[in-house]
Structure 1
């Protein structure tokens, strides 16, 4: 990690009344964006379009630029936060299982989007489940995030600090089916909502034994389809969290969170 990156990660961005963060939530099914303030409050409506399929990097950037154009007028954003469904390091996408992995190998998505928008804005990108978690977590103990959407995303926090990303979604959970295949939207469509709910309930028990979490947060579009009583330490996250968490990439709640800001932010 370079000197400039260390400086960006070691000191939270200065709060200003005029700050406008363009928060983007990239999903396998839909792309969402809104302008938020430093506290995660929405300053604009949330816009959404379908995710193209197939979706190589250039097409995703083009679609996002068209999506956010109305949000950038009359006042452009001052920062950009992106939640992305895959492995992200140093502002580069390493994997994109729900978008087509072959074209998503070490893609500098943050820089590409900043260049296309033409404002040379500072950008930070993080896994989408992690961005949802930043908006939801309480910052105490072991907190785990499970997102139920096109696939299944996960994130792990300890006392508010983001742990190294694990692609648990690609780990076998039942008869060689991965979490993505077992809980993803295609599985819900195929098996029906009742059977899918039983699967989610089973996975909650597995994660409890595996992670020993103090709190489990469930997000993603399919969280609205849960029909069973959740344990006391499990809570559904607002569907807005994927956007609101974008503020925490620039304004963490604590010194500990400041230390775990994703590397690779360019100023």
Structure 2
């Protein structure tokens, strides 16, 4: 087989459908096994209420516009375990608790699927793999993911832990806080949380991602940086690296 034929064969290999479920938008794209985008990103507004069937319908419609894929990686905003949703604070836990999203998506799109928390999937697309790395997503709510030397640590629901005056991280940093308090005051909240998380974890590096990271205007410490929001999709490659 010639080098040109080998290259063409590799290019034609089906990719991974990366699914990023958000409280505001539903996004997906096809990526390769290294996390490189093979397609443009598709996006639709998240329906409210967001029943599981409505979400599956939305992704089936978007997937039909994309190149071939033979696996699916799903990042979901809540606690997930063994392919099932346990909590869905920004979509309605009462609608989602116990729902086997990985199996349902696999059945709908006819390829195997794996499910992880959305901040953790984004983290896989961001981290260097060295030391203690924390990812915090700023979006509809606030998500976190912690990695040590590239390995994902047990999930912590910091989003629902009180951070100030009985406000949770979701309430203190989420989109409602941004819209209610304005950019300047919200940035003060971000600064305070950066400091608190360092006291708690002594992280080597903190990455700020999510749709509202673009509004961060404070001077960041040397070990804190902004990350691309596309990592919420490109991190999906890591879900299939270990077979």
Give the alignment partner of residue 79 of structure 1, picking from 71, 74, 95: 71
CA contact (8 A) 1:19 1:38 kept: no
Aligned partner of 1:166 in structure 2 is 156
| CA distance in 2 between partners of 1:100 and 1:159 (Å) | 34
Structure 2 CA distance, aligned partners of 1:68 and 1:53?
21
Question: 2:4: which partner in 1?
Answer: none
User: Which gives a bigger RCO, structure 1 or 2 (Cα 8 Å, sep 6+)?
Assistant: 1
SS at structure 2 position matched to 1:79: strand
How many residue pairs get aligned? The number is 233
- Residue by residue over 1:101-159, the C-alpha shift from the partner in whole angstroms, topping out at 9 and shown as x without a partner, is 11111110011111122x2x111110000001001111111110100000000011111
Note if contact 1:141-1:158 (Cα within 8 Å) is conserved in structure 2: yes
Deviation at 1:66, TM superposition (A): 1.3
Instruction: Verify: 1:216 aligned to 2:206, yes or no.
Output: yes
RMSD: 1.2
SS of the residue 1:78 aligns to: strand
Alignment correspondent of 1:62: 57
Distance in 2 (CA, whole Å) between partners of 1:112 and 1:149 is: 26
How far 1:25 sits from its partner (Å)?
A: 0.4
Q: CA deviation at 1:19?
A: 3.6
- 2: CA distance, partners of 1:33 / 1:233: 30
Q: Deviations over 1:174-194 (max 9, x none)?
A: 100000000000110000000
| Structure 1 unaligned blocks of 5 or more | 1-15, 252-257, 262-267
**TM-score normalised over the length of structure 2:** 0.93
Matched, 1:239 2:234: no
How does the TM-score come out when normalised to structure 1? 0.85
SS of the residue aligned with 1:70?
coil
Instruction: Give distance in 2, aligned partners of 1:211 and 1:36.
Output: 32
